[in-house]
């Protein structure tokens, strides 16, 4: 039985529209995590967060909203929002490496505040109506820090501990520290999920073989680059990948057109997909996509690029 695959939260990419189109066309993902929900300074919610977790915008998929609290109070407000929207699970972000977030004591800024971690987890886990999970990194400066913190997490009945096998300092680049993850794997009693650079079937198989007892693996950019990856990890194959990508793209275009205003805004949003999608597309074709100024020229560039890309497979 292959490991369960979870779609990582990716702020700016895996919003409700993206998740729904992905799930309809490619699937093979057990759980989707929302990009983090956070509070404004006056403790109000962002409209885009409210839209993103509204159950009406997330039909037919298993969504776990992720929150970015800095203390117990923010945890209470954000978990209330999650429960009011009908969810029975919440994920707490303790891994975001952005300087502003870390400085404010949120995300991976919590890695150096074990007392605040306890306050947040006590608040969240006191809610009997919620399964709580945490997404974290191996450390702030060095990848051995989480091992020291593990006893703190093991005091709580977490549904999952997802570990991105990098440090805060590394942000999203550089080698994942699978050796340090292995040390956690050997001693952890909590259900563990591995995250970081699973970008191919070979990567998935290597992680599954090295860590057979994982509760799952989480993939982020690997799925943005190759949306077939989760299905391929489950042994599925596809005849007409070009049509599936174009269909996916059409669904995104249709939904973003309804939500956003004006050609320029819609095109700008659609072009973000190409930050990652099909990285091996010829340079000149990708350039034609990102430089296009009208919906017509953009569509032609997308259609030609995708067809020519898969014609060579």
What is the rounded distance in angstroms from the CA atom of residue 234 to the CA atom of residue 239? 16
Tell me 312's DSSP state: T
Return the residue of 58, 66, 133, 167 that touches ligand FMN, per CB under 6 A.
Answer: 66
Return the residue of 90, 192, 219, 231 that touches ligand FMN, per CB under 6 A.
Answer: 219
Return the residue of 5, 6, 8, 270 that touches ligand FMN, per CB under 6 A.
Answer: 8
What is the rounded distance in angstroms from the CA atom of residue 104 to the CA atom of residue 70? 7
Q: How is residue 147 written in tokens?
A: 């091992």
Return the residue of 5, 9, 101, 266 that touches ligand FMN, per CB under 6 A.
Answer: 9
**Binding of ligand FMN at residue 49 (CB under 6 A)?**
no
Return the residue of 15, 145, 197, 203 that touches ligand FMN, per CB under 6 A.
Answer: 197
**Binding of ligand FMN at residue 55 (CB under 6 A)?**
no
Residue 38 in contact with residue 49, Cβ under 8 Å? yes
What is the rounded distance in angstroms from the CA atom of residue 147 to the CA atom of residue 34? 27
**Binding of ligand FMN at residue 174 (CB under 6 A)?**
no
What is the rounded distance in angstroms from the CA atom of residue 3 to the CA atom of residue 218? 10
User: Segment near ligand FMN (CB under 6 A), from 80-88, 191-199, 207-215, 234-242?
Assistant: 191-199
What is the rounded distance in angstroms from the CA atom of residue 34 to the CA atom of residue 41? 21
CB of 295 to ligand FMN, least distance (A): 25
**Binding of ligand FMN at residue 198 (CB under 6 A)?**
yes
Instruction: Please name every residue paired with 216 in a beta bridge, in sequence order, or none if there are none.
Output: 193
- Measured from the CB atom, the residue of 55 and 174 that comes closer to ligand FMN is 174
CB of 173 to ligand FMN, least distance (A): 10
**Binding of ligand FMN at residue 222 (CB under 6 A)?**
yes
**Binding of ligand FMN at residue 111 (CB under 6 A)?**
no
**Binding of ligand FMN at residue 3 (CB under 6 A)?**
no
Residue 282 CB: number of other CB atoms within 10 A? 12
Q: How is residue 64 written in tokens?
A: 């776990």
**Binding of ligand FMN at residue 97 (CB under 6 A)?**
no
Number of residues that bind ligand FMN (CB under 6 A): 22
Q: How is residue 153 written in tokens?
A: 């997490």
CB of 135 to ligand FMN, least distance (A): 4
**Binding of ligand FMN at residue 229 (CB under 6 A)?**
no
**Binding of ligand FMN at residue 104 (CB under 6 A)?**
no
The full DSSP string for 153-199 is HTTS--SEEEEEEEETTTTT-S---HHHHHHHHHH--SPEEEES---
Residues whose CB is less than 8 angstroms from the CB of residue 122 and which lie 6 or more positions away in sequence, other chains included: 72, 156
**Which of 55, 92, 186 is CA-nearest to residue 178?**
186
Q: Which residue is nearest to ligand FMN (CB)?
A: 220
CB of 307 to ligand FMN, least distance (A): 27
Per CB under 6 A, residues contacting ligand FMN are: 8-12, 35-36, 66, 93, 95-96, 135, 164, 172, 195-198, 219-222
């Amino acid at each position: 039985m292959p490991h369960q695959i979870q779609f990582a939260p990716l702020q700016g990419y895996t919003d409700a529209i993206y998740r729904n189109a992905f799930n309809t066309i490619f699937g093979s993902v057990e759980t989707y995590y929302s990009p983090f929900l956070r509070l404004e300074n006056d403790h109000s919610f962002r409209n885009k967060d409210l839209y993103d977790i509204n159950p009406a915008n997330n039909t037919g998929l298993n969504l776990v909203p992720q929150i970015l609290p800095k203390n117990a109070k923010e945890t209470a407000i954000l978990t209330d929002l999650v429960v009011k929207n009908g969810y029975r699970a919440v994920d707490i972000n303790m891994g975001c490496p952005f300087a502003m977030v870390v400085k404010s004591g949120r995300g991976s800024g919590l890695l150096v505040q074990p007392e605040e971690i306890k306050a947040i987890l006590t608040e969240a886990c006191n809610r009997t109506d919620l399964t709580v999970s945490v997404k974290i990194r191996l450390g702030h400066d060095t990848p051995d820090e989480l091992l020291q913190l593990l006893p703190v997490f093991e005091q709580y009945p977490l549904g999952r501990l997802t570990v991105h096998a990098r440090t805060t300092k590394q942000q999203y680049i550089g080698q994942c520290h699978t050796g340090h993850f292995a040390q956690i794997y050997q001693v952890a009693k909590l259900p563990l999920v591995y995250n970081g650079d699973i970008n191919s079937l070979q990567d998935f198989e290597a992680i599954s073989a090295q860590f057979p007892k994982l509760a799952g693996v989480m993939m982020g950019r690997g799925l943005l680059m190759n949306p077939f990856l989760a299905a391929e990890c489950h042994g599925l194959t596809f005849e007409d990948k070009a049509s599936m990508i174009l269909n996916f793209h059409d669904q995104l275009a249709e939904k973003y057109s309804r939500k956003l205003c004006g050609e320029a805004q819609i095109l700008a949003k659609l072009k973000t997909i190409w930050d990652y999608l099909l990285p091996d597309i010829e340079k000149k074709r990708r350039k034609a996509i990102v430089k296009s100024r009208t919906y017509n020229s953009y569509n032609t560039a997308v259609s030609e690029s995708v067809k020519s890309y898969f014609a060579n497979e």
